[in-house]
Amino acid sequence: MDQTSIKIPDSVPILVVDDESAITEMIYQALTRNGYTCRTAQNAGEALNVLENNNPIDVVITDIRMPGMSGVDLLEIVKQKYDSDVMVMTGFTEEYDYESVVAAGAADFIQKPISFRELLIRLRRVLRMRYLLIERDQINRQLQDNLEQLVKYSSQLKNAHEELQYAYLDTINRLVAATEYKDEDTGDHIVRISRYSTLIAQKLGLPPETVELIQYASPMHDIGKIGIPDSILLKPNRLTKKEFETVKTHTTIGASILEDSKADVLKLSREIALTHHEKYNGGGYPYGLSGKDTPVSGRIVALTDTFDALTSRRPYKEPYPIEVAVDIIRSERGKHFDPEIVDVFIGNIDEFLHIKETVGTMEKVSLADFIWSSRDLAEGLDKKIIINV
């Protein structure tokens, strides 16, 4: 689903909170000129009165440092009691960092002095995500209604099944759109992951119904990345230990988004989202599962996701030559990856390359021009994989 198709209502209600009246007035003018319905408050107490006594507020934009209750305290109360997203702003970046504020529940973090153009862009992004998730909840309710209708009208089972299957696939497309929001190349990536994973499932001899479920569920492996800050996902350099711990939470975030569904395809999507970073030797995350304790769906996507990431351009690396990617995966046989799945991958590499060539744009990278990324050099991968140029 194209992000521009997300329906955001006119005159979205916004609450601006800052003890400096000049700032609230400037933001008020900027927002109203752009079609938003804007309320203002001089402190957290006034803001809570507005939230309590008025129609729902979609987004609260609050300063952090204010007399009395701070913006962080206000953020925590708003997330507990009201259905509002919160954007925080501060000029004291030495005291407050992006990760800690986002971890407290903020939808975004804005540094002062404020660029009104940047504020409007960030607000629009927060609203897009808000209404995308609202659509997701509406679809989930529709799925539940369809399930109840299926039980009630068993005589119409065939038609109801077709309608339900369409609704499931529509849910998948819309949820995957949330991941595309972070990365322009994700659209081609998820198609390739689906086709790679389907190919391996077929070659492993899994039942046809399982192969079909993997085909539809595997694109949602990284749905949890909607909860990871852009500053980390798009960072070109090596991640800090703290940043990597944040990235690792995308597995449990994705599982949380997909939990409690009665649909088999969404159950398998949750399983894949949760386990596709486990390693065969037990060194993965989030639970350190080893061997066959990791479901076969997670073991399949662990390899297909790695292969596509290695051979694709990322903010922190150029695409690696196919020979390098294959050598890396071969070297991780029995370590990162299930040996049987590695053997299937190596034995059918031509079919993988055909998918790579036909879905998206395949960049030709020669071994002579190959350069390790700074992340891989920092992790010593160049010493583990010897490439003969």
What confidence tens digit (pLDDT) does each residue in 41-54 have? 999 999 999 999 87
CA–CA separation, 296 vs 284, rounded Å?
15
211: number of Cβ within 10 Å: 18
CATH number of domain containing 297: 1.10.3210.10
Q: What is the pLDDT of residue 2?
A: 42
Residues 145-174: b if buried by 16+ CB within 10 A, e if exposed: ebeeebeeeeeeeeebeeebeebbeebbeb
Do 84 and 227 reside in the same domain of the chain? no
Q: Quick one: 369 exposed, middle or buried, by C-beta within 10 A (0-12, 13-18, 19+)?
A: exposed
Q: Model pTM? A: 0.57
CA–CA separation, 139 vs 163, rounded Å?
13
**Structural domain for 254, as ranges:** 184-384
Do 190 and 120 reside in the same domain of the chain? no
Do 266 and 369 reside in the same domain of the chain? yes
Do 237 and 376 reside in the same domain of the chain? yes
Query: In this structure, is residue 154 part of a structural domain?
Result: no
Do 258 and 377 reside in the same domain of the chain? yes
CA–CA separation, 92 vs 114, rounded Å?
13
Among 79, 101, 127, give the residue marking a domain's end: 127
CA–CA separation, 337 vs 291, rounded Å?
9
Query: Does residue 332 contact residue 303 with C-beta atoms inside 8 Å?
Result: no
Q: Give per-10-residue mean pLDDT for the chain (389 aa).
A: 61 92 93 93 93 88 90 91 90 68 81 87 89 84 76 61 64 60 61 94 96 92 85 80 92 91 88 97 96 97 94 77 92 96 97 90 61 60 46
Q: What is the pLDDT of residue 232?
A: 84
Phi first, then psi, for residue 13 (nearest 5°) are: -80, 125
Do 216 and 303 reside in the same domain of the chain? yes
Do 118 and 229 reside in the same domain of the chain? no
Give the count of domains, the chain.
2
Phi first, then psi, for residue 225 (nearest 5°) are: -70, -10
Query: Does residue 108 contact residue 61 with C-beta atoms inside 8 Å?
Result: no
CATH number of domain containing 31: 3.40.50.2300
Angle, CA of 125, 126 and 130, to the nearest 5°: 115
Crossing angle between the packed helical segments 186-203 and 157-180, to the nearest 10 degrees? 130
Do 66 and 209 reside in the same domain of the chain? no
Q: What is the pLDDT of residue 281?
A: 97
Q: What is the pLDDT of residue 171?
A: 63
Q: How far is CA 217 from CA 235, 272, 367, in A?
A: 28, 8, 34
304 closest CA partner among 377, 203, 158, 157: 203
Q: What is the pLDDT of residue 188?
A: 79
Q: What is the pLDDT of residue 179?
A: 57
How many Å is the Cα radius of gyration of the chain?
24
Query: In this structure, is residue 327 part of a structural domain?
Result: yes
Query: In this structure, is residue 171 part of a structural domain?
Result: no
Query: In this structure, is residue 266 part of a structural domain?
Result: yes
